[in-house]
Amino acid sequence: MTVKHWFPLALGVVVALLIPAVTHDNYVIQLLNIAILNAIVVLGLNFATGWVGQINFGQAAFYGLGAYTTGIAAKAGLPWITTPFLSVVIVMAASLVLGLPTLRLRTYYLAMTTIGFGEIVRLIIVHWEPVTGGTSGLRAIPGIGVFGIGPQGQVQHYYLLIAVLAIAALVAARIRQSSLGRAMIATKDSEIAAEQSGVDTTRTKLIAFMIGAVYAGLAGCLYASSIRFISPDSFSGTQAILLMTMLIVGGMGSIPGCIIGAVGLTILPEALRFLGQWYLVLYGLGVIAVIVLAPGGLASLASRLPRWAGAR
């Protein structure tokens, strides 16, 4: 770790911690909370898509599975502490069942299968009304609390979610620095060379897919119990594409990129709200501009920065 590495990190942490001191607007904090949750989901997506190179449109469905598992369990009266475990068990089971038969196949098959999976999950949520509340969703989900202690108000939730995001990013960084992370990237770069180097590429793909699902499941659990209202819209196919866009705009394979992309694209539509109908035009142009001008995503701009600074 050089100055170049830890300075942006430290800056990011300081800014993140100071935001609630600058703004007391609950709406802003709640928006940031959703941005942080999205960042965790995108960090998860990065394992299978950014590192292993598999196109996965099922991430929103895992997010939803986690959220609904927690929502249903908490409303049924189970203590909050059980809900992260329940959510993780459900998404792990779902990702295993989905991943085992499809990950042997190459790229596009997984893309198609995960689109189908997302649609199945959405349809179950919409139609299993007595349990899921159908299109109107679940309201008044009990909040986070362990032995009666839990965050109160948006700001406390914000700090809790920032801490979870930090852990999620740290675990991702550790995986990247391990033989597992290298195996993931090797699988993307050359599957046959990875195999001949002793990497079980099928297993690596499955693990990456499942870790990603666990990230989404945990984020879903926190979504349900911190926003306390969930509906199928938050976990639709559109959301799946949005998560993929966040990953691409932020920078595939880059941990800071995932966070920048998720936070940026969560906030941007709200920031552009004054444009009314026109916001989508600007939003779309912005996304295209990033893809054309910085194909490595926003995170890749950071590595160009020293060169610009040096030139002056």
Part in contact with another protein (CB under 8 A); list of ranges 40-48, 90-98, 125-133, 167-175: 167-175
82 binds another protein (CB under 8 A): no
55 binds another protein (CB under 8 A): no
CB of 151 to another protein, least distance (A): 24
Part in contact with another protein (CB under 8 A); list of ranges 39-47, 70-78, 198-206, 284-292: 198-206
Q: How far apart are CA 38 and CA 262, in angstroms?
A: 6
Cα–Cα distance list, 281 to 247, 288, 294 (Å): 20, 11, 19
Question: In 202-236, which positions are buried (b, 16+ CB within 10 angstroms) versus exposed (e)?
Answer: eebbbbbbbbbbbbbbbbbbbbbbbbbebbbebbb
Query: Which of 92, 126, 131, 185 is the binder for another protein (CB under 8 A)?
Result: 185
Part in contact with another protein (CB under 8 A); list of ranges 77-85, 103-111, 177-185, 227-235: 177-185
Size of the site for another protein (CB under 8 A): 26
175 binds another protein (CB under 8 A): yes
25 binds another protein (CB under 8 A): no
Q: How far apart are CA 48 and CA 242, in angstroms?
A: 16
Are the CB atoms for 150 and 144 separated by under 8 Å? yes
The burial class, CB within 10 Å (0-12 / 13-18 / 19+), for 287 is: middle
Distance of CA 99 to the CA centre of its chain: 18
3 binds another protein (CB under 8 A): no
Are the CB atoms for 30 and 154 separated by under 8 Å? yes
Residue closer to another protein, measured from CB, 135 or 179: 179
Q: How far apart are CA 290 and CA 251, in angstroms?
A: 10
CB of 168 to another protein, least distance (A): 11
- Could you give the string, one character per residue 201-230, with x where binding to another protein holds by CB under 8 A and - elsewhere? x-----x-----------------------
CA neighbor of 108 nearest in space, from 71, 54, 148, 146: 54
183 binds another protein (CB under 8 A): yes
Residues near 275 by beta carbon (within 8 Å), at least 6 away in sequence: 282
2 binds another protein (CB under 8 A): no
- Could you give the string, one character per residue 118-157, with x where binding to another protein holds by CB under 8 A and - elsewhere? ----------------------------------------
CB of 190 to another protein, least distance (A): 4
Part in contact with another protein (CB under 8 A); list of ranges 107-115, 156-164, 191-199, 285-293: 191-199
Query: Which of 92, 111, 120, 180 is the binder for another protein (CB under 8 A)?
Result: 180
DSSP 138: B
CB of 183 to another protein, least distance (A): 6
311 binds another protein (CB under 8 A): no
300 binds another protein (CB under 8 A): no
Residues near 145 by beta carbon (within 8 Å), at least 6 away in sequence: 80
CA neighbor of 73 nearest in space, from 224, 236, 229: 224
Residue 142, token pair as written in the block: 């009990």
Q: Which residues bind to another protein, rule: CB under 8 A? A: 171, 174-175, 177-180, 182-183, 185-186, 188-190, 192-201, 207, 253
